[in-house]
Structure 1
Amino acid sequence: MSSVNDLSGKKRAILVAAEKCFAMQSYEGVSIRDIAHEAQVPIALVGYYFGAKNELYHAIYEHRSSYIAERLSELHKARLHTDPDMAVSAIIAAFITPVLKLNEEPDGVNFSRMVMRGVIDQHEASARITREFYDPMAKEFIAALSSALPAAPVETIFWCYQFALGALLHHVVDTRIERLSEGRCPARNAAVAAPHLQRFITAGIRAAALSSTYTPNQEYPA
Structure 2
Amino acid sequence: MSSLDDLSGRKRAILIAAEKCFAEQSYQGVSIRDIAHEAGVPVALVGYYFGAKNELYHAIYEHHSGYIAERLSELRRARLHTDPTTALNAIIAAFISPVLKLNEQDHGVNFSRIVMRGVIDRHEASDRITREFYDPMAREFIEALSGALPAAPKATVFWCYQFALGALLHHVVDTRMERLSDGLCPARNAKIATPHLLRFITAGILAAAQSAQD
Fold equivalence (TM over 0.5): yes
- Partner AA of 2:53 in structure 1: K
Task: Compute the displacement of 1:179 (Å).
Answer: 1.0
Q: Deviations 1:83-117 (Å, cap 9, x if unpaired)?
A: 11100010000000000000000111000001000
* 2:72 paired residue number: 72
Deviation at 1:6, TM superposition (A): 1.1
Task: Give the aligned residue type for 1:134.
Answer: Y
CA deviations 1:26-77 (Å, max 9, x no partner) are 0000000000001111100000000000000001101110000000000011
Equivalent residue, structure 2, for 1:194: 194
Q: Is there any run of 5+ residues in structure 1 with no aligned partner, and where?
A: 215-222
User: SS at the partner of 1:85?
Assistant: helix
Give the residue type in structure 1 aligned to 2:54: N
Q: Does 1:159 align with 2:169?
A: no
Describe how 1:5-20 pairs up with structure 2 within 5 A: 5-20=5-20
2:42 is equivalent to residue 42 of structure 1: yes
The residue that corresponds to 1:138 in the other structure is 138
Alignment of 1:2-151 (within 5 A): 2-151=2-151
| Cα displacement (A) at 1:119 | 0.3
Q: Once superposed, which parts of structure 1, at least 4 consecutive aligned residues long, lie more than 2 Å away?
A: none
Deviation at 1:190, TM superposition (A): 0.3
* Residue 169 (structure 2) aligns with: 169
| Greater shift in the superposed pair: 123-132 or 2-11 | 2-11
SS in 2 for 1:152: coil
C-alpha RMSD of the superposition: 0.5
TM-score (norm 1): 0.96
Deviations 1:171-218 (A, max 9, x none): 00001111111111101000000000000000000000111011xxxx
TM-score (norm 2): 0.99
Q: Percent identity?
A: 81
- Residue correspondences, number: 214
Matched residue SS, 2:28: coil
**Which letter maps to 1:110?**
N
Q: Once the two structures are superposed, what CA deviation does each residue of 1:1-31 show, in whole Å capped at 9, x if it has no partner?
A: 2111111111111111101100000000000
Secondary structure at the aligned position of 2:184 is classed as coil
Query: Where does the alignment leave 5 or more consecutive residues of structure 2 unmatched?
Result: none
**2:155 partner SS:** helix
